[in-house]
Amino acid sequence: MPYRNPFAPGAGSRPPELAGRSAILDMARISCGRAVKGRNARSMMLLGLRGVGKTVLLNEIGRHAEQEGLLVSRVESPEGESLARLIFPEMRKVMRSLSGVESARHLATRGLKGLRNFASIFKIEMAGVEVGVEPEPGLVETGDLQYDLPDLFILIGKAAQAAGRGWLLLIDEVQYLSETDLSALIVALHRISQDGLPVLMVGAGLPQIARLAGEAKSYSERLFQYPSVGPLDPVSAGQAVEKPVLEEDASITPEALQAIFERTKGYPFFIQEWASVVWDNAEGPAITFADVDNAYAETLARLDEGFFKVRIDRLTKAEVQFVKAMARLGDGPYAMADIAKVMGRSQQSLGPARASIISKGMIFSSDHGYLDFSVPLFSEFMRRQG
């Protein structure tokens, strides 16, 4: 019965069984617990392709952090948006919350003054005026994010510490931050870490973030933990499907589970999509290999019209030709020299298209001179298009 379908296909939707991710969640839980106790704790960057569940993990980490007493801010970095505008409303909410705690009121009020200066100098519109908060000359007003953001983080950290709380900043799609903004964020977290204040960040994005962070600030590799969020192993993939099925008083054969794992290659988004289609179409309550096999064509059609199509629609005609050439070479990574050869072009002439597709988050530089798709199984999709 479709209304009893336990599966959750969709961007950022929490699957009914969050299988295979306990090590990452434990890592985050320990960091949050240490931060609140004033002990050294490292921020995290979750690295992975599209559809592996990074956003789900961010939300889950945020939920656990709130239970531990941390104030949690969630933001997504859209293309072209400045970090200052992105996190200003969140910092303001945190400061307001802390200003309601007697032991932190003085520090939080100073933080609100700093935020007022910050909004003015970075030309951020404030909806409504902070009552009784006057600007303080010389506080957070250089206009250089690499100086002002660390100062604000320190003000928040000190107020949170006085309140016996902590602050966790969750940032999705980190790869869209500009180099200047990423650098300022890293400097701010470094200052916080040196001062032992209870402020952490967990970011998520495409695999190139580790390199981008390293290029922004050399010490970033010591500042962050970089857990890789990849496809599920066969046991975890099976658990992600079988457990929700059993909880609905149904069953699924080992052959059916194996087929789902092999054809999805363990990618969580595809597992949820296929399992959802199987559930809606199987006569049940025992789901067989035949049920799974019969649902495959409909699953591919759904993915092609949704998950894959929304991404290809963002590309220009010239960019589509570029990714088609990649797909014709089989599965990645792809040498830039080989792509140029397939297209009958020079590598230099393809530079602008390459840069544009990378900026749109469709491909990434997997190694020097090599590219790969940021979307799992995308090369197969392109080959299905002919």
Q: Which pLDDT value is given to residue 131?
A: 42
Show the tokens assigned to 89: 């409303």
Three-class SS state of 251? strand
pLDDT band at 211 (very low <50, low <70, confident <90, very high): confident
- What is the number of other CB atoms lying within 10 angstroms of the CB of residue 258? 15
Show the tokens assigned to 306: 């949704």
Looking up tokens 């597709």, which residue turns up? 357
Q: Which pLDDT value is given to residue 121?
A: 84
Q: What is the Cβ-side half-sphere exposure of residue 312, based on CA atoms within 13 angstroms?
A: 20
| Higher per-residue pLDDT: 149 or 129 | 149
Q: What does residue 141 show for φ and ψ, rounded to 5 degrees?
A: -145, 30
Sorted by sequence, the CB contacts under 8 Å of residue 367 that are 6+ apart come out as: 333
Q: What is the pTM of this model?
A: 0.88
The C-alpha atoms of residue 53 and residue 21 are separated, in whole angstroms, by 10
Q: Which pLDDT value is given to residue 133?
A: 55
Beta bridge mates, 204: 46
Write the CA distances from 348 to 337, 355, 365, integer angstroms. Answer: 10, 11, 16
125-134 — which CB contacts under 8 Å span 24+ positions?
A: 126/92, 133/109
The C-alpha atoms of residue 87 and residue 219 are separated, in whole angstroms, by 23
The C-alpha atoms of residue 367 and residue 374 are separated, in whole angstroms, by 13
What does the pLDDT look like over 75-131, one tens digit per residue?
Answer: 988 777 889 999 999 999 999 999 999 999 999 999 998 888 888 888 887 665 444
